[in-house]
Amino acid sequence: MNRDYKLLTPGPLTTTRTVKEEMLFDHCTWDDDYKAITQKIRADLLELAHCNPSEYTTVLMQGSGTFGVESVLTSVIGADEKVLLCTNGAYGDRQVKICEHAGIDYVQYAEPYDRIPDAAHVAEILDNDPSITHVSMIHSETTSGLLNDIESVARVAKAHDCTFIVDAMSSFGGVDIPVADWGIDFLVSSANKCIQGVPGFSFIICNTARLEASRGKARSLSLDLWDQWNTLEKDGGKWRYTSPTHVVLAFNRALDEMKAEGGIPARSARYATNNRMLIARMKALGFGTFLKEHQGP
């Protein structure tokens, strides 16, 4: 078997040898020095999200990205609340599935896979249905590589006093997102995408007040967002249940390597260059892009 190839998937992706080497160390999940790493990661992520620790907090959650999305949807939308799901790809459709499974009240606003949800239409839906309390959408729809306009939808959600949830799985770290300025309340991403770590956990940037208000709403024990946060806070970085220690060490290294590269601006520029190069050279081979506009890096 040829093991010398590069992964061109959005994640898991080819990581550096040094990120992988971090995993040679066996850490205990409750040791103070390990908990300090967890706390550093939480602080680093808030900084990358342009969030102030007095208003925002980071929760780390075991599992792949979907576990993080499911954790948020099933933890912050109460039994008497309702979410508007704006979809234009497979990951938006997955949110519909999560709501179906958990019995969460939802309405879906679906656009075709090459079109972006329109903020004016979102406003119309919210005007006509005051029972909607949450709005959720995908930032980079990995299905097509489309980058949605979350800023304008966030503005509409805020104007209607709705909690705004974003799946930024394949954009966070690769595209700069001013989470606080745009009024995003819950943003989900994972270890194995643009931060370039290995798979094993997701992370959620949370508006602390909205997170606190969700206490007691969770439908799942292990995916209870508030409870996970509460343990991280009161036990100084301890995860509720066994954490993926090797993956966390690798992620910590990946964050340091990202800083050394020049942070999100440098990474974003590199991805954009790769994207342009790929499109140009594939075009020379006779391939076209599926998207005519809104192409993400």
Ligand X SMILES: *Cc1c(COP(=O)(O)O)cnc(C)c1O
Residues near ligand X (CB under 6 A) are 10-11, 64-66, 69, 91, 138, 142, 167, 169-170
Nearest CB to ligand X, comparing residues 62 and 228: 62
Q: Minimum Å distance from CB 182 to ligand X?
A: 18
Least spacing, CB of residue 223 vs ligand X, in Å? 13
Asked whether the beta carbons of 107 and 132 are under 8 A apart, the reply is yes
CB of 90 to ligand X, least distance (A): 8
Q: Which two three-digit tokens encode residue 268? A: 């974003």
Joined tokens for residue 130: 């005051």
CB of 65 to ligand X, least distance (A): 3
Report the residue number, 58 or 238, with the smaller CB distance to ligand X. 58
Query: How many residues would you count in the chain?
Result: 297
Nearest to 116 by CA among 297, 284, 240, 296: 296
Nearer to ligand X by Cβ, of 94 and 160: the residue is 94
Closest to ligand X by CB, 189 vs 245, is 189
Closer residue to ligand X in complex, CB, 138/264:
138
d(CA 199, CA 7) in angstroms, rounded, equals 14
Nearest-approach distance from CB 83 to ligand X, in angstroms = 16
C-beta nearest to ligand X: residue: 65
Distance separating alpha carbons of residues 220 and 71, to the nearest angstrom: 8
Residue among 207, 244, 209 at smallest CA distance from 41: 244
| Shortest Cβ 128–ligand X spacing (Å) | 28
Closest contact distance (angstroms) between CB of 142 and ligand X is 3
Would you say 126 or 223 has its CB closer to ligand X?
Answer: 223
Q: How far apart are CA 41 and CA 57, in angstroms?
A: 11
CA 219/CA 274 separation, integer angstroms: 42
281 vs 271, 277, 285, 289, CA distance in Å? 15, 6, 7, 12
When the beta carbons of 38 and 64 are compared against ligand X, the nearer one is: 64
Place of tokens 């990202």: 258
Task: Answer for the pair 86, 121: CB distance below 8 angstroms, yes or no.
Answer: no
Give the whole-angstrom CA distance, residue 201 versus residue 198. Answer: 9
